A and B are shown apart, each in its own frame.
Chain A
């Protein structure tokens, strides 16, 4: 087991879309070296909560967040917080692979370039190679870095998006159903990758697949109707749930 260190502490978080409350009093700890899975039926608020962790909700009109979310003890909704800096530290991978319509190289170099992480071409080359290697994509694309990122297969595109996210050396990676648009083989590769990555990063994954949550995560939070019904060690949640609703969900009685 890798060393676990508290990274994000969310306390009594409420999220509103206009007058409608989407998240109700959620408190969760997220640690480095651990994969945390959010499971729950559609519309339960798990994606919404994920997006509050790097303030992607800011881009949605009428969205309001209450409560406290601290990254290394620092409130990310405090007025002095720089969103750009926050998102560089808390990266995100989306449901549908969304590479930019640029070359593979430029896709990975995008983040380092806007944050000024590379001093020269050699530095940038090194960052791109390291990121692609960590994302398990280097061997497949090293000879065609100049080709368009959108020409890759779906699974390769998603790994490219992961490479892109880790190129800015984030501390946390948020994944919003990263495998829902992929076939089982591509899914298996991404899951292996998540397992490799957890040593360096705190990873949060939203998933519809309970098998996936059971395979890749060490902590699981079960969301229902905007609240966290149960949060704990993945093994306990799946084998010995404390709450009736959790048990009903994981045994497939509803969802």
Chain B
């Protein structure tokens, strides 16, 4: 309550300061060039001086006050009979704090009920102190800002600098988040490798994750079947589907389709990219997988499994088609018309021109598109969770059920798990491997695209 009020007051002060500073600046105006900045910039400068320090003070207070509140409560005579044991005491304090905010709720612990009144008093007191500090800072900032409104003061450059800082912070947050994720991945992976040697993990062929620590742990954490399943489904089967279909549709759309046809077909193809992967997932599990199984049975396989690498891979390939197609489309369109004319003028047919000139010239872009598609396919989760199966198997038979890195991560981390068992920690190691591989693919692909763009512009 109080904190929202404080924010409103500070903002109100800021607006008032804006008008005050602008009015002062306008009064100083005596003709062209008499002010270093337009009056409204003085207003903004003033507003920043009021709002920013006050909000900072208020935020810092928000960070340190819970500790102070806790100390004050424990020092209160009413808290004397609290149990000394930390966890129990914390539970009672937390409940009392809940009750203090919501007096109508029923108390679970009678001691909390007694404390609630005290807690409310102390919390209110500290919130008031925070509010007073923030308000004081706002006034102090405002006073300082107001004295700065002078004819020669460069308010515009100061405001520009503040804008720059804001934008910088916004972009840093995204970068820091990424860095944080990577660091936590690396850290947890380090914990895992303390129990299981990286060599066992990266070269072992037996995957049966379990809890508990012993010397034999490495034998059950061989991730090769997972890597194989991931590559077989995402980089082999899916690409066998996606590369030819994506490429041919791109060639058709850029070279053969009339303008009207292109207008309708291209968005239709892009709809494929907009389908949620979970929808692809049940399409794979409910429609494609039974077909694949029946086909396998008709081919004479005994007891074919419902879940198969083929079903997951084919559906994933369909999902990837728009990626391959739009990258190929772009790079074919980037081949200069002069090159096409050159070939046609030699008496080459349309398909000869495409095969011998356009595709080779567009190849770097196409390769990059395929790499991006692979990196997406191996990171894809929903389809394999629903259609590929859980068996960690090293097999080249597409009708077998297989498992992937992403699927195992889901399995390892869902449900009640202890967070320090090798089983859960292995998920981070798998995640790190996946991250490194997709990152490498993306970097190489972007390099290729960049180099290629330079060649024609």
A residues apposed to B, CB below 8 Å: 54, 56, 59, 61, 83-88, 91-92, 94, 96, 98-102, 110-111, 114-115, 150, 161, 164-165, 168
A164 / chain B contacts, CB cutoff of 8 Å: 342, 346
Known: A100-B357, A114-B356. A91 touches B346 (CB 8 A): yes
B121 contact set on A, CB distance < 8 A? none
How far is it, in angstroms, between the C-alpha of A141 and the C-alpha of B336 when the chains are bound? 25
Tell me, yes or no, whether B27 is within 8 Å of chain A by CB.
no
Chain B 317-344 interface mask (CB, 8 Å, partner A; 1/0): 0000000000000000000101111111
Say whether B347 contacts A115, CB under 8 Å.
yes
Chain B contact patch, size range: 20 to 34
Given contacts A101-B360, A101-B361, A110-B356, contact A165 B346 (CB under 8 A): yes
Residues of B within 8 A of A114 (CB): 346-349, 352, 356
With A110-B356, A114-B352, A114-B356 known to touch, is A100 a contact of B347 (CB < 8 Å)? no
- Contact A111/B346 with A100-B361, A101-B360 known, Cβ cut-off 8 Å: yes
Chain B residues within an 8 Å CB radius of A94: 338, 341-342, 345
Contacts of A111 in B (CB 8 A): 346-348
Point out the residues of chain A lying under 8 angstroms from B347, CB to CB. Answer: 83-88, 111, 114-115, 168
Q: Which of A85, A86, A100 contacts B342 (CB 8 A)?
A: A100
For B361, the chain A residues whose CB sits under 8 A away are 100-101
The 5 closest A-B pairs by CB, nearest first: A87-B347, A92-B345, A98-B338, A88-B347, A98-B342
How many Å lie between the Cα of A88 and that of B344 in the bound state? 10
Q: Knowing A101-B361, A114-B352 touch, does A56 contact B344 (C-beta < 8 A)?
A: yes
Q: Which of B336, B348, B360 contacts A102 (CB 8 A)?
A: B360
- C-alpha spacing A201/B339, complex, angstroms: 24
Residues of A within 8 A of B340 (CB): 59
Q: Which residues in A have their C-beta under 8 angstroms from that of B336? A: 98
> Within the complex, which residue of A91, A96, A150 is in contact with B345, where a contact is CB–CB below 8 Å?
A91
Bound CA span A86–B340, Å: 17
Residues of A within 8 A of B338 (CB): 94, 96, 98
Alpha-carbon gap, A61 to B344, bound state (A): 15
Known: A100-B361, A101-B360. A84 touches B343 (CB 8 A): no
